[in-house]
């Protein structure tokens, strides 16, 4: 039976460490650290995420600046706000909550955030830095996954690592982070011919594809570390991941639950990136 990787406990520890460092920076440099979050429209899920980010800012001692814009906000209006935030010395990190309303171009919006304040690590400059291993910020969810793997004490170097999913937000950067730790990485996706066989080879399996309970226990190698990034809502309203927890728990050595696994880590790593941005500014 697998040990449960408690994302709430690990994220609480990360945030506690950040709060201590923030207090020291305030005392030494007299600075306050600020995160600006921009939300456009009335997406209920986005509103929950933004509220959670605000709570996390309070917990670690950051200032939180929220910009709630109406659904009909134009591209030019949104870009003008981003320009203003790029120039604002009180703002160390900028996060535009995705998805945006369909009339807005997410790529153009992300490209206009200063790479030094891009705490989501979505800007092409930061994506390129991750590719070559010379980065300041890491995408929050993959970075959170790395923290969870580290919490198990399992060494990544030399291990067979399989990532199911190839999104720009999780799958691709996840594979690069595992590669930087000397894992042997396979990326699987909708065209993979024998997904079960690929998964069965994995010492470390990361599922991030958005298909409820896709990964079954008979697809898991005995003793594998299984990280479930999926967050799917079933017809009965319950949340589940991409991993069939019940069957996989019997085979894996470590496994993340949904909810309570990767989710809490994403916001903790956002706080970590914002702290990094502030420290970079002090060093300039």
- Total Cβ atoms within 10 A of residue 133: 10
Q: What is the pTM for the complete model shown?
A: 0.95
Rounded Cα–Cα distance for residues 144 and 141 (Å): 5
Residues labelled as active-site residues: 53, 97, 120
Report pLDDT for 56.
96
- Residues 190-200: what's their mean pLDDT? 97
pLDDT of residue 235: 85
Confidence of residue 284 (pLDDT cuts 50, 70, 90): low
DSSP H helical ranges for 137-219: 140-152, 171-180, 195-200
| Mean pLDDT estimate for the chain | 96
Instruction: State phi, psi for 203 to the nearest 5 degrees.
Output: -80, -35
Q: What are phi and psi of 47, to 5 degrees?
A: -60, -40
* 117, 154: one domain: no
| Within-domain flag for 251 | yes
Say if residue 156 is in the same domain as residue 243: yes
Q: Within a 13 Å sphere around the CA of 191, how many CA atoms are in the beta-carbon half?
A: 1
Asked if residue 278 lies in contact with residue 91, where contact means CB atoms within 8 angstroms, the answer is no
| 47-105 pLDDT tens trace | 999 999 999 999 999 999 999 999 999 999 999 999 999 999 999 999 999 999 999 99
Task: Report the domain count for the chain.
Answer: 2
Flag whether 17 is in a domain: no
Residue 282 lies in a domain: no
pLDDT in tens, 109-148: 999 999 999 999 999 999 999 999 999 999 999 999 999 9
Using CA atoms in the order 88, 94, 97, 102, what is the torsion angle rounded to 10 degrees? Answer: 70
| CATH (domain of 181) | 3.40.50.720
pLDDT of the residue at 283? 75
| Residue 131 to residues 121, 122, 160, 172, 212, Cα–Cα distance (Å) | 12, 12, 20, 10, 30
Asked if the structure places residue 5 within a domain, the reply is no
Same domain, 194 and 248: yes
Tell me, yes or no, whether 4 lies in a domain: no
Domain range holding 243? 140-263
Query: Are residues 37 and 92 located together in one domain of the fold?
Result: yes
Please report whether residue 12 resides in a domain: no
**Mean of pLDDT values over 172-187:** 98
| pLDDT at position 201 | 97
CATH number at residue 72: 3.40.50.10860
Residue 148, both tokens: 């969870």
Q: What is the mean pLDDT of residues 193-216?
A: 97
- Average of pLDDT values for 171-191? 97
pLDDT band at 237 (very low <50, low <70, confident <90, very high): confident
- Verify that 152 and 200 share a domain, yes or no: yes
Whether 53 and 112 map to the same domain: the answer is yes
């Amino acid at each position: 039976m697998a040990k449960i990787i408690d994302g709430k406990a690990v994220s609480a520890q990360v945030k506690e460490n950040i709060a201590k460092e923030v207090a020291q920076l305030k005392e030494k440099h007299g600075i306050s650290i600020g995160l600006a979050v921009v939300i456009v429209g009335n997406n209920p899920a986005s509103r929950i995420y933004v509220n959670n980010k605000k709570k996390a800012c309070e917990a670690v001692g950051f200032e939180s600046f929220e910009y709630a814009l109406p659904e009909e906000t134009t591209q030019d209006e949104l870009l003008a706000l981003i320009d203003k935030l790029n120039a604002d010395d009180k703002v160390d990190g900028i996060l535009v909550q995705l998805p945006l309303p369909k009339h807005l171009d997410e790529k153009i919006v992300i490209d206009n955030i200063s790479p030094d304040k891009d705490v989501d690590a979505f800007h092409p400059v930061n994506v390129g830095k991750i590719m070559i291993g010379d980065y300041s910020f890491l995408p929050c969810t993959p970075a959170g996954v790395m923290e969870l793997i580290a919490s198990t004490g399992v060494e990544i170097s030399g291990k067979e690592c399989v990532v199911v999913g190839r999104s720009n937000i999780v799958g691709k950067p996840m594979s690069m982070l595992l590669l930087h730790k000397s894992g042997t990485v396979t990326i699987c996706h909708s065209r993979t011919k024998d997904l079960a066989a690929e998964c069965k080879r994995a010492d470390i399996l990361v599922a991030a594809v958005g298909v409820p309970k896709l990964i079954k226990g008979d697809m898991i190698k005995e003793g594998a570390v299984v990280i479930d990034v999926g967050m799917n809502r079933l017809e009965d309203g319950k949340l589940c991941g991409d991993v069939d927890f019940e069957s996989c728990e019997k085979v894996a050595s470590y496994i993340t639950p949904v909810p309570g696994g990767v989710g809490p880590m994403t916001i903790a790593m956002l706080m970590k990136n914002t702290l990094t941005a502030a420290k970079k500014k002090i060093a300039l």
